[in-house]
Amino acid sequence: MSTHINAASKDDIAETILLPGDPLRAKFIAENYLRDVKQYNNVRGMLGFTGIYKNIPVSVQGSGMGMPSMGIYSWELITEYGCKNLIRIGTSGALNSEIRIRDIIVSLASSTDSNYAHSFKIPGSYSPAASWELLTKLYETGKKTGISFKAGNTVSCDVFYETDPDWWKKWSEMGVLAVEMEAAALYMNAAYHGVNALAVTTVSDHFITGEHATIEKREKDFTQMMKLALELAVSV
Protein backbone atom coordinates (compact mmCIF):
# COMPACT_ATOMS: atom_id res chain seq x y z
CA MET A 1 0.00 0.00 0.00
CA SER A 2 1.38 3.40 -0.99
CA THR A 3 0.91 6.77 0.67
CA HIS A 4 -1.89 8.02 -1.60
CA ILE A 5 -3.39 4.78 -2.94
CA ASN A 6 -4.88 2.17 -0.62
CA ALA A 7 -5.14 -0.80 -2.97
CA ALA A 8 -4.40 -3.95 -0.98
CA SER A 9 -1.99 -5.48 -3.49
CA LYS A 10 -0.48 -5.10 -6.95
CA ASP A 11 -3.13 -7.46 -8.28
CA ASP A 12 -5.81 -4.87 -7.56
CA ILE A 13 -4.50 -2.56 -10.29
CA ALA A 14 -4.02 -3.51 -13.95
CA GLU A 15 -0.73 -2.96 -15.78
CA THR A 16 -2.56 -0.61 -18.14
CA ILE A 17 -4.28 2.33 -16.50
CA LEU A 18 -6.22 5.41 -17.61
CA LEU A 19 -5.49 8.60 -15.66
CA PRO A 20 -8.22 11.24 -15.80
CA GLY A 21 -7.52 14.21 -13.57
CA ASP A 22 -11.12 14.31 -12.37
CA PRO A 23 -12.05 11.39 -10.06
CA LEU A 24 -15.67 11.74 -11.18
CA ARG A 25 -14.56 11.08 -14.74
CA ALA A 26 -12.84 7.93 -13.46
CA LYS A 27 -16.12 6.91 -11.81
CA PHE A 28 -18.06 7.67 -15.02
CA ILE A 29 -15.72 5.48 -17.10
CA ALA A 30 -15.88 2.62 -14.59
CA GLU A 31 -19.68 2.72 -14.43
CA ASN A 32 -20.30 3.08 -18.16
CA TYR A 33 -17.54 1.13 -19.89
CA LEU A 34 -16.14 -1.52 -17.55
CA ARG A 35 -17.71 -4.68 -16.13
CA ASP A 36 -16.96 -6.54 -12.90
CA VAL A 37 -15.74 -3.25 -11.45
CA LYS A 38 -13.96 -3.07 -8.10
CA GLN A 39 -13.07 0.21 -6.43
CA TYR A 40 -9.56 -0.01 -4.98
CA ASN A 41 -8.95 3.58 -3.89
CA ASN A 42 -10.76 6.38 -2.08
CA VAL A 43 -7.90 8.18 -0.35
CA ARG A 44 -8.49 11.96 -0.49
CA GLY A 45 -11.48 11.29 -2.74
CA MET A 46 -9.16 10.35 -5.61
CA LEU A 47 -11.16 7.37 -6.82
CA GLY A 48 -9.56 4.34 -8.48
CA PHE A 49 -11.28 1.37 -10.14
CA THR A 50 -10.33 -1.84 -11.92
CA GLY A 51 -12.67 -3.66 -14.26
CA ILE A 52 -12.88 -5.60 -17.48
CA TYR A 53 -13.06 -4.05 -20.95
CA LYS A 54 -13.37 -6.50 -23.84
CA ASN A 55 -12.16 -9.32 -21.58
CA ILE A 56 -8.99 -7.48 -20.55
CA PRO A 57 -8.33 -5.91 -17.10
CA VAL A 58 -8.09 -2.11 -17.22
CA SER A 59 -7.78 0.34 -14.34
CA VAL A 60 -8.83 3.98 -14.17
CA GLN A 61 -7.50 6.31 -11.49
CA GLY A 62 -8.13 9.98 -10.77
CA SER A 63 -4.82 11.83 -10.76
CA GLY A 64 -5.79 15.37 -9.76
CA MET A 65 -4.79 18.69 -11.28
CA GLY A 66 -1.26 19.78 -12.06
CA MET A 67 2.15 18.20 -12.33
CA PRO A 68 2.75 17.71 -8.59
CA SER A 69 -0.44 15.65 -8.31
CA MET A 70 0.20 13.69 -11.51
CA GLY A 71 3.77 13.18 -10.33
CA ILE A 72 2.60 11.59 -7.09
CA TYR A 73 -0.01 9.24 -8.55
CA SER A 74 1.97 8.10 -11.59
CA TRP A 75 5.10 7.52 -9.48
CA GLU A 76 3.24 5.37 -6.94
CA LEU A 77 1.35 3.46 -9.63
CA ILE A 78 4.64 2.61 -11.35
CA THR A 79 6.82 1.88 -8.33
CA GLU A 80 4.32 0.36 -5.90
CA TYR A 81 1.79 -1.31 -8.20
CA GLY A 82 3.75 -2.19 -11.34
CA CYS A 83 1.79 -0.19 -13.92
CA LYS A 84 3.45 -0.40 -17.34
CA ASN A 85 1.15 1.62 -19.60
CA LEU A 86 -0.14 4.94 -18.26
CA ILE A 87 -2.61 6.85 -20.43
CA ARG A 88 -3.58 10.35 -19.35
CA ILE A 89 -7.02 11.44 -20.49
CA GLY A 90 -8.40 14.87 -19.78
CA THR A 91 -8.95 18.32 -21.22
CA SER A 92 -6.77 20.93 -22.87
CA GLY A 93 -6.96 24.45 -24.20
CA ALA A 94 -6.36 25.02 -27.92
CA LEU A 95 -3.59 27.39 -29.01
CA ASN A 96 -4.00 26.78 -32.74
CA SER A 97 -6.63 28.27 -35.05
CA GLU A 98 -7.12 24.99 -36.93
CA ILE A 99 -8.21 23.17 -33.78
CA ARG A 100 -11.84 23.10 -32.68
CA ILE A 101 -13.63 22.50 -29.37
CA ARG A 102 -14.01 18.72 -28.81
CA ASP A 103 -11.02 17.87 -31.04
CA ILE A 104 -8.80 15.16 -29.58
CA ILE A 105 -5.15 16.11 -29.07
CA VAL A 106 -2.29 13.66 -28.58
CA SER A 107 0.86 15.01 -26.95
CA LEU A 108 3.81 13.78 -29.02
CA ALA A 109 6.01 15.85 -26.72
CA SER A 110 5.26 18.06 -23.78
CA SER A 111 7.00 21.37 -23.33
CA THR A 112 6.64 22.91 -19.89
CA ASP A 113 7.20 26.02 -17.80
CA SER A 114 7.64 23.81 -14.74
CA ASN A 115 10.82 23.00 -12.85
CA TYR A 116 9.65 19.40 -12.37
CA ALA A 117 12.71 18.02 -14.16
CA HIS A 118 15.06 19.38 -11.48
CA SER A 119 14.44 16.27 -9.35
CA PHE A 120 16.13 14.10 -11.98
CA LYS A 121 19.32 16.22 -11.89
CA ILE A 122 19.61 16.33 -15.69
CA PRO A 123 22.61 18.40 -16.88
CA GLY A 124 20.62 20.19 -19.59
CA SER A 125 17.10 20.68 -20.95
CA TYR A 126 15.06 17.48 -21.12
CA SER A 127 12.30 16.99 -23.74
CA PRO A 128 9.46 14.88 -22.29
CA ALA A 129 8.00 12.72 -25.05
CA ALA A 130 5.32 10.10 -25.56
CA SER A 131 5.98 6.38 -25.70
CA TRP A 132 6.51 5.22 -29.27
CA GLU A 133 4.82 1.91 -28.48
CA LEU A 134 1.62 3.56 -27.27
CA LEU A 135 1.75 6.17 -30.01
CA THR A 136 1.90 3.62 -32.82
CA LYS A 137 -0.83 1.56 -31.18
CA LEU A 138 -2.99 4.67 -30.91
CA TYR A 139 -2.49 5.41 -34.60
CA GLU A 140 -3.71 1.90 -35.42
CA THR A 141 -6.58 2.25 -32.96
CA GLY A 142 -7.65 5.52 -34.54
CA LYS A 143 -7.81 3.93 -37.99
CA LYS A 144 -9.71 0.94 -36.63
CA THR A 145 -12.30 2.94 -34.71
CA GLY A 146 -12.57 5.88 -37.08
CA ILE A 147 -11.88 8.27 -34.19
CA SER A 148 -9.64 11.06 -35.48
CA PHE A 149 -7.13 13.07 -33.51
CA LYS A 150 -4.43 15.67 -33.98
CA ALA A 151 -0.90 15.02 -32.71
CA GLY A 152 1.87 17.45 -31.91
CA ASN A 153 3.68 19.37 -29.21
CA THR A 154 1.66 20.52 -26.22
CA VAL A 155 2.71 22.49 -23.14
CA SER A 156 2.19 21.57 -19.48
CA CYS A 157 1.84 24.69 -17.37
CA ASP A 158 2.00 25.11 -13.60
CA VAL A 159 -0.26 28.17 -13.45
CA PHE A 160 -3.95 28.12 -14.34
CA TYR A 161 -4.67 31.82 -13.76
CA GLU A 162 -1.88 33.68 -15.57
CA THR A 163 -1.54 37.43 -14.91
CA ASP A 164 -0.49 38.12 -18.51
CA PRO A 165 -3.49 37.56 -20.83
CA ASP A 166 -1.15 37.04 -23.81
CA TRP A 167 1.11 34.47 -22.14
CA TRP A 168 0.01 31.70 -24.54
CA LYS A 169 0.90 33.50 -27.77
CA LYS A 170 4.62 32.68 -27.75
CA TRP A 171 3.82 28.99 -27.32
CA SER A 172 1.35 29.25 -30.20
CA GLU A 173 4.00 30.89 -32.39
CA MET A 174 6.21 27.83 -31.79
CA GLY A 175 3.52 25.53 -33.16
CA VAL A 176 2.33 24.21 -29.80
CA LEU A 177 -1.18 22.82 -30.30
CA ALA A 178 -2.63 23.04 -26.81
CA VAL A 179 -1.99 23.63 -23.14
CA GLU A 180 -2.73 21.29 -20.24
CA MET A 181 -1.18 20.73 -16.81
CA GLU A 182 0.04 17.14 -16.37
CA ALA A 183 1.64 15.43 -19.38
CA ALA A 184 5.23 16.59 -18.82
CA ALA A 185 5.38 15.11 -15.32
CA LEU A 186 3.81 11.86 -16.50
CA TYR A 187 6.26 11.56 -19.39
CA MET A 188 9.27 12.25 -17.16
CA ASN A 189 8.22 9.74 -14.53
CA ALA A 190 7.55 7.11 -17.18
CA ALA A 191 10.89 7.72 -18.89
CA TYR A 192 12.78 7.52 -15.60
CA HIS A 193 11.20 4.17 -14.75
CA GLY A 194 11.28 2.74 -18.27
CA VAL A 195 7.52 2.37 -18.78
CA ASN A 196 5.06 3.67 -21.39
CA ALA A 197 3.02 6.85 -21.18
CA LEU A 198 0.75 8.82 -23.49
CA ALA A 199 -1.44 11.89 -22.99
CA VAL A 200 -4.74 12.15 -24.88
CA THR A 201 -6.91 15.20 -24.25
CA THR A 202 -10.10 16.74 -25.58
CA VAL A 203 -10.17 20.45 -26.27
CA SER A 204 -12.49 22.12 -23.76
CA ASP A 205 -11.33 25.73 -24.15
CA HIS A 206 -9.99 27.81 -27.02
CA PHE A 207 -7.58 30.67 -26.39
CA ILE A 208 -8.08 32.14 -29.85
CA THR A 209 -11.88 31.98 -30.17
CA GLY A 210 -12.69 32.26 -26.46
CA GLU A 211 -14.98 29.21 -26.52
CA HIS A 212 -15.48 27.06 -23.38
CA ALA A 213 -17.13 23.70 -22.69
CA THR A 214 -19.46 23.39 -19.69
CA ILE A 215 -18.41 21.58 -16.50
CA GLU A 216 -20.89 18.77 -17.21
CA LYS A 217 -19.54 18.27 -20.72
CA ARG A 218 -15.98 18.13 -19.34
CA GLU A 219 -16.96 15.35 -16.95
CA LYS A 220 -19.24 13.17 -19.08
CA ASP A 221 -19.53 14.28 -22.70
CA PHE A 222 -16.02 13.73 -24.05
CA THR A 223 -16.75 10.08 -24.77
CA GLN A 224 -14.80 9.74 -28.01
CA MET A 225 -11.58 10.33 -26.08
CA MET A 226 -12.62 7.74 -23.51
CA LYS A 227 -13.43 5.15 -26.17
CA LEU A 228 -10.14 5.80 -27.99
CA ALA A 229 -8.16 5.41 -24.76
CA LEU A 230 -9.98 2.21 -23.78
CA GLU A 231 -9.42 0.67 -27.20
CA LEU A 232 -5.76 1.60 -26.90
CA ALA A 233 -5.62 0.06 -23.43
CA VAL A 234 -6.72 -3.35 -24.67
CA SER A 235 -4.35 -3.27 -27.66
CA VAL A 236 -1.09 -3.14 -25.66
Q: Reduce the DSSP state of residue 6 to 3 states and report it.
A: coil
**Secondary structure element (H or E) that encloses residue 24, with its range:** helix 23-33
* CA distances, 183 to each of 39, 95, 189 (Å): 25, 16, 10
CB 89 within 8 A of CB 226: yes
The backbone torsions φ and ψ at residue 96, rounded to the nearest 5 degrees and listed phi first, read: -130, 135
Q: Report the alpha-carbon distance of residue 35 to residue 56 in Å, rounded.
A: 10
Catalytic residue among 12, 158, 166, 205: 205
Question: Could you tell me the end-to-end alpha-carbon distance of the chain, in angstroms, rounded to an integer?
Answer: 26
Amino acid found at 169: K
Q: Report the alpha-carbon distance of residue 148 to residue 127 in Å, rounded.
A: 26
Q: Is 205 a catalytic residue?
A: yes
Residues designated catalytic? 205
